[in-house]
Amino acid sequence: MPTQNRTQARRQLDKRFTNLRLLTEEPRPHQGWIRAIREALGMSSTELAARMGVVHQAIREYENSEIHETIKLETLRRIGEALDCQVIYALVPRTTLEEAVESQALRKAAKKLARVSHHSRLEDQEIGVADAAVQIDDMAKKLIDRRGLWTDTDDFQ
């Protein structure tokens, strides 16, 4: 994907994540969403089992697997249908995607410059702190959207 397309894709996704970030602040009920919604509806586990076409014990297993975060998405969707609920599945970055890429580029540039700086000190050609910061920023801008940004090596394409 060309650089411009990646930048545009990040910006579009970041806009979509704005509202989803609010959801990440809402904790899951301690008994899990399935049980909380089922009980709020006044639906017994036996009734939910009948609506899903499973045995009563399966509902307890589903509720436990939700709490232990081992429930399958497909199962959660089936339960959602039986509860007349919609499952929302999303990976929501802790920061914007743009910030994540810039941060990684800065880390990688600083690491690379630190190695170069070490060799420069050995040769008595050390650069100043202000110059180093400018070099890191310049290098980071060049690293954004290049292959290899997220690897531990210095290989870039």
Domain segments of the chain as ranges: 17-82, 97-143
Burial of 128-156, coded b for 16+ CB within 10 Å and e otherwise, reads eeeebeebbeebbeebbbeeebeeeeeee
The region of weakest confidence among 6-15, 25-34, 51-60, 147-156 is 147-156
Instruction: Report d(CA 124, CA 20) in Å as an integer.
Output: 52
Q: What is the pLDDT of residue 113?
A: 84
Q: Give residue-wise pLDDT tens across range 94-144.
A: 999 999 999 999 999 998 888 766 545 545 555 566 778 888 888 898 888
- Alpha helix locations (H) across the chain? 3-24, 33-40, 45-52, 56-67, 73-82, 97-122, 129-143
Query: Each residue of 24-77: pLDDT tens digit?
Result: 888 999 999 999 999 999 999 999 999 999 999 999 999 999 999 999 999 999
